[in-house]
Structures are given as structure tokens and as C-alpha cells.
Structure 1
Amino acid sequence: MLQLENRTYEELNLGDIASVSHLVSERDLILFAEVSGDVNPVHLDEDFAAATPFKGRIAHGMFTGALISAAIACELPGPGTIYIGQEISFLRPVRLGDEIRVELEVIEKLPKNRVKITTRVFNQDNKQVVEGVATVMAPTEKTTMARPTLPNVTIG
């Protein structure tokens, strides 16, 4: 059984790192469009997207942002973390079939259990697609739990 375990504010150190990888799929784009309401055809319509500077469909920028959020919530610091803010810059498009890697690194511990974390995302060619800095409130209580299993949602 997969476990989630956090690192409390006291356990965190400058330089602590974590990374999570994700293969971007058609299902991701459709589900994200459904949840967010962002049905921009550059994400969903190949013919439309082919005529853009990207020459094809790209993932929603905030889909990548959501993967950063998931890495923070599940890995570093983990369960119980509260997102305070995020500076984010989209450097390159993320495309269907890209294997993207979210990398997190603790860069500053602030008062009131606040922590600054660099948030970088790379594609399968090791090209950076996103850079940023998150500010979070780290948990103060240690938590270990079973990773919830999500229901399989059928598309189509």
C-alpha cells in the first residue's frame, strides 16, 4: 500500500528536495478542462492548435501548476501543508506525451511555519518548462497515512 508521509516544519532543512514525474495524457487535458472550465481550443482541438505558434495542442499552464501543488501536498512538505502563494513562469509549452518532472527544493524557512520552495518543472529532454517559488505553511504535526485511491473516471 502506498503511503503519504509529511515533513513537519521542524524536520525541514534548507536544501531538502523532492521530485515527482507525470506522463501528460489526453485524459489529463480533458479532465482538467472539465474541472477548470478552460476549454481553450489550443488545448483540445488539434486543427485549431496546429494553426497557432505552438503548431499543435499544449497542456493548460495551470495543469502544470496543479502538478506542482500535488507534489507539495503529497511529497514536500506533504500532507497537512497549506499553500500560501506561488510565483510561476511558463518557459516552454508542455505537450501531450511529455514526461514532465516536478522538482522541489526548500530554500527558506520563515516565521509562523512558513517555508519557501523553488518549483521547477522539466520535460523528458531535461528542458525547463516552468520555474517559480511557492510559499507554504508546513505542517506542525507528523502524519503518515495510506495514499487515497481515486475512482477510475471514464472519458468518452
Structure 2
Amino acid sequence: MMNLEMKPAKQGDCGFAWALFSEFAQQNMFSGAQGRRAPKDWQEDQEFQRFAKYWAAGEHYLITVDEAPIGWAALDKNGKTVVIENWHLLPRWRNRAVTKTILSELVHRWKTEGLLVKAAVLENSQLSSVAEGLLTKLGFSIERLESHSKIMHVV
């Protein structure tokens, strides 16, 4: 049986997180599709510097199986609200109930604590329908649309 955990990330985990995020960003935010930036606009050094600042300033978690990192998440806790801002898994760990297992437990705990739970889902990404479907199964519904994201909350 595997030991699945979500624990606070360290600054040294930034490289692992960057590898997952940069792949996602290039495929979905710099795809050249309508409303997205062109692939030629990707500037690796500039994007990494922006990500490193985001990593240093936020609340990030490493998702591990038997102590080995398989993904990361970013949460924004503000008063009585917690927002799941980012959630990234290594490709071989997708579609294996990792997200459902962890989020089921976290959403239950947060609701018990009286927190409003929200999640941001990037519109028109390769995984947006999967993410939205999973969040819906966990009790989320669409709250509002923003420029490139759906903001969902637990009802």
C-alpha cells in the first residue's frame, strides 16, 4: 500500500515544481490558440524568475507517494476562505485517483472548519474538463468566470 501525503514544500522544491508548471504553461498558456500567447513568446529565464517569486511568496505543498515527489499544489488561505490556485502532478500519476483522494480529505476538513473552499480552473486547457469534472464530483460548482479561468466553490 502506498503512502500518499501532501506536506509543506521547501524552497528547494522550486525546481521540481517549475518543471511541472513550465510544461503546463507552454502547452496551455503559450499554445498560440485563440486567446493564448504564441509559443515564440515563451522566455524561459523570464518565466522562471516570475515563477520563483511566486514560489517564494506563497503557500505551496509537495504531493508525495512513499516520500517521493509526484506533484505540487498552491493554496491561498485568507480569513475564512481557502483557494486552490495550482495543482500539478507528474503525467504518470494523473488519472490514478491521487487528486480525488487528497482533495476529498482536505475539502471535508476545510468545510468542517467552516472555511469557504474555492478552486481556479484554467479555461480551455488540455486538462480543464477533467479538473472541472473531478471538482464537480467533490461538490464544487461554478461561481464565476474570469478572464481565463473558472472559479468554482464547494456548495
Sort the TM-score into its range (normalised by shorter chain): under 0.3
Higher RCO (Cα < 8 Å, 6 or more apart): 1
TM-score, normalised by the number of residues in structure 2:
0.25
Which structure shows the higher helix fraction?
Answer: 2
Bigger Rg, which one: 1
